Amino acid sequence: MAYMSQEKKAIIAPKVKSICKKYGITASLSVRNHSTLVLTIKSGKLDFITNNNEVTSNRPGGFRNGSPAKDHISVNPYWYHEHFDGKCKEFLTEIIAIMNCGNHNRSDSMSDYFDIGWYIDVDIGKWDKPYQLDNAYITA
């Protein structure tokens, strides 16, 4: 059964903070329902929204929900590499690897058996608090 504690979060938090500082990102790390480690990216120098819209629009099928992202994105931790490129993808690759450090996934969906250490969510902005792009943003 998935389980994330405040103690586990406290071990991961300094590494997450150093990666965010490296890329000029302001974010918060929290635990949801004792099962999910959540990174909420509030502001930064990386233009995630434009990057996601450009990469997604150039893929076959384009936007699955019918419209581009405007002010927030819930990143799919399994498919982020298909939705971002450049520095945004580089940042997400590093941050997701750190968030999964010590995690395991011995699930077998064919036999309806799910065994994961914890889940992760990466949110860029929120529905009620949009992502804020700093003036000196990085494009690539």
* Torsion (CA) 16, 18, 23, 27 in degrees, nearest 10: 50
Q: Where are the domains of the chain?
A: 6-127
* Residue 51: closest CA among 31, 75, 32, 29: 75
Mean pLDDT of 4-13: 95
Contact 107, 18 (CB under 8 A): no
Helix (H, G, I), strand (E, B) or coil at 70: coil
For 52-90, the pLDDT digits (tens) are 988 888 776 666 656 788 899 999 999 899 889 999 999
Q: 0.85 cut: is pTM over it?
A: yes
Share of the chain above pLDDT 90, in %: 67
Contact 123, 41 (CB under 8 A): yes
Contact 29, 9 (CB under 8 A): yes
